[in-house]
C-alpha cells in the first residue's frame, strides 16, 4: 500500500506540473493575442476546447465533468 501511495503522489505532482505548464502556455497566448490585437478568448474556440477535452476524458473512461472542473479549459 505504501508503494501505491508513492505512485499516486508522483502522479499528483505530475498533474500539477502539467497544469502549471498549460497555464504558462495560455498566458503566453494571451500576450501574443494582445500584440496582434486579437481577443484573449473567443466563445467558439473555448467551446471547441471543452468538447475536445470532454471527448478525451470519455475515451479514457474518465468523468468529463471532472476534466472540465480541473480547469481544462
Alpha-carbon span 23 to 3, nearest angstrom: 30
Q: What is the pLDDT of residues 1-21, one digit of tens each?
A: 999 999 999 999 999 999 899
34 and 46 inside one domain: no
Q: What is the pLDDT of residue 29?
A: 93
25 and 49 inside one domain: no
Q: Domain range for residue 16? A: 1-38
21 and 46 inside one domain: no
Output the pTM of the full model.
0.78
Q: What is the pLDDT of residues 23-73, one digit of tens each?
A: 999 999 999 999 999 998 888 988 999 999 999 999 999 999 999 888 766
Q: What is the domain count for the chain?
A: 2
8 and 28 inside one domain: yes
User: What is the grid cell recorded at 13?
Assistant: 505532482
3 and 25 inside one domain: yes
Alpha-carbon span 22 to 28, nearest angstrom: 10
58's CB contacts (< 8 A; 6+ apart) are 64
Q: Pick left, alpha or beta for residue 37 (phi over 0 → left; psi -120 to 50 → alpha; otherwise beta).
A: left
Amino acid at each position: 500500500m505504501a508503494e501505491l501511495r508513492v505512485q499516486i503522489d508522483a502522479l499528483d505532482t505530475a498533474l500539477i506540473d502539467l497544469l502549471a505548464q498549460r497555464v504558462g502556455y495560455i498566458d503566453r497566448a494571451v500576450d501574443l493575442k494582445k500584440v496582434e490585437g486579437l481577443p484573449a478568448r473567443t466563445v467558439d474556440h473555448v467551446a471547441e476546447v471543452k468538447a475536445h477535452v470532454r471527448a478525451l476524458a470519455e475515451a479514457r473512461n474518465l468523468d468529463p465533468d471532472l476534466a472540465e472542473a480541473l480547469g481544462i479549459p
